């Protein structure tokens, strides 16, 4: 088993004096890798940051946290910065913890063609009741491999995903539905989606208690982008 990688840089020859090991609890769950305290400074494993939705990469002697910023629309070659993961990954942005559970084909409906259903678990990670709408929701997009998007079927079943107020530590599971525009399109012609993108703007926190700073995103780019070509 490989030892955890820590956000820690040491000069050659410097001893690790006064080292203390700490258990790490993320969202109520103990993580497998411990943190360490060296000379009064606490260092957390990268695996713990990943659990909080912070992406990381090492290239040469450079450690990069998060994704490079971009202004290109979601799904394009240079996608928007977001909390990113795969099917089954619990992603957290400081307010919401979201996990895509499964993706499955669905038939035509309400004048639209066939498409895909995406089952999503959404949990409130704050101490305040709130909804996606009140926390800056911009759009819910299911992206095709070519960058185009399916039509989101916002019907009664999906409205709670956007507007329902969820209490502290509460959670709900929704089966979101997305279709192609052509109602005559055969199911075999509908491509499997490549990404689910939930776009959130931290500047659009609308409810008064949010404006007062009682809850806040822990990343400047709190949108979720789930890659649907990988499962963990």
Residues 88 and 118 occupy one common structural domain: yes
Instruction: Provide the pLDDT for residue 4.
Output: 60
Higher pLDDT, 47 or 143: 143
Does residue 135 belong to any structural domain of this protein?
Answer: yes
Contact by Cβ (8 Å): 198, 98? yes
My answer on whether 121 and 199 are in the same domain is yes
With a cut of 50, say whether residue 177 has pLDDT above it.
Answer: yes
Give the CA count within 13 Å in the CB-facing half-sphere of 198.
Answer: 27
Do 60 and 93 sit in the same domain of this protein? no
Q: Is the dihedral of CA 168, 123, 232, 70 positive or negative?
A: negative
CATH code for position 200: 2.60.40.1240
How many structural domains does the chain have?
A: 2
In a domain, 72, yes or no: no
* 187 and 123 belong to one structural domain: yes
Q: Do 164 and 107 touch, CB atoms closer than 8 A? A: no
**Sheet of strand 41-43: strand arrangement:** 19-22, 35-38, 41-43
Q: Does residue 9 fall inside a structural domain? A: no
Mean pLDDT of 156-171: 80
Q: Identify the band that residue 213 occupies on the pLDDT scale cut at 50, 70 and 90.
A: low
Containing domain of residue 190, as a range? 83-231
141 lies in some domain: yes
Are 36 and 148 in a shared domain?
no
Both 138 and 204 in a single domain?
yes
Region 185-208: mean pLDDT is 89
In a domain, 203, yes or no: yes
At a CB cut-off of 8 Å and minimum separation 6, what does 137 contact?
162, 198, 199, 200, 204
Residue spans of alpha helices (H) in 76-122:
none
Question: Six-digit token pair at 111?
Answer: 């004048």
Q: Which position has the higher pLDDT, 225 or 18?
A: 225
Residues 55 and 91 in one domain: no
**How long, in residues, is the chain?**
232
Question: Per-residue confidence at 40, pLDDT binned at 50, 70, 90?
Answer: confident
Helix (H) or strand (E) holding 41: strand 41-43
**Is residue 76 one of the residues assigned to a domain?**
no
Would you state the pLDDT for residue 42?
Answer: 86
Residue that wins the pLDDT comparison between 128 and 142: 142
Contact 179, 113 (CB under 8 A): yes
| Residues 87 and 47 both lie in one domain | no
* Residues 139 and 48 placed together within one structural domain of the fold: no
Q: 87 with 60, same domain? A: no
Residue 69 pLDDT exceeds 50: no
Is 130 domain-assigned?
A: yes
Q: Does 54 lie in the same domain as 87?
A: no
**Judgement on whether residues 32 and 106 belong to the same structural domain of the protein:** no
Q: Exposed, middle or buried, 61 (CB in 10 Å: 0-12/13-18/19+)?
A: exposed
In whole numbers, what is the pLDDT of the chain averaged over residues?
80
Q: What percent of the chain has pLDDT over 70?
A: 77
pLDDT classification of 18: cutoffs 50, 70, 90 = low
């Amino acid at each position: 088993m490989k030892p955890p990688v820590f956000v820690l840089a040491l000069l050659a020859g410097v001893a690790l004096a006064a080292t203390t090991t700490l258990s790490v609890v993320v969202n109520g769950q103990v993580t497998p890798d411990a943190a360490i305290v060296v000379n009064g400074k606490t260092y957390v494993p990268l695996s713990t940051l990943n659990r909080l939705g912070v992406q990381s990469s090492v290239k040469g002697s450079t450690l990069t946290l998060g994704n490079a910023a971009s202004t290109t629309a979601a799904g394009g070659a240079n996608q928007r910065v977001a909390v990113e993961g795969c099917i089954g990954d619990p992603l957290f942005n400081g307010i919401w913890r979201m996990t895509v559970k499964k993706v499955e084909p669905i038939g035509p409906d309400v004048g639209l063609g066939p498409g895909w259903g995406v089952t999503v678990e959404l949990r409130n990670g704050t101490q305040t009741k709130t909804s996606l709408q009140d926390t800056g929701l911009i759009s819910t997009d299911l992206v095709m491999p070519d960058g185009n998007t399916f039509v989101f079927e916002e019907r009664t079943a999906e409205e709670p995903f956007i507007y329902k107020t969820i209490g502290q530590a509460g959670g709900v599971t929704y089966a979101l539905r997305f279709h192609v525009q052509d109602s005559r399109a055969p199911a075999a012609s509908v491509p499997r989606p490549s990404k689910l993108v939930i776009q959130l703007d931290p500047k659009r926190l609308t409810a008064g208690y949010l404006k007062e700073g009682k809850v806040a995103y822990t990343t400047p780019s709190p949108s979720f982008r789930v890659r649907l070509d990988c499962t963990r």
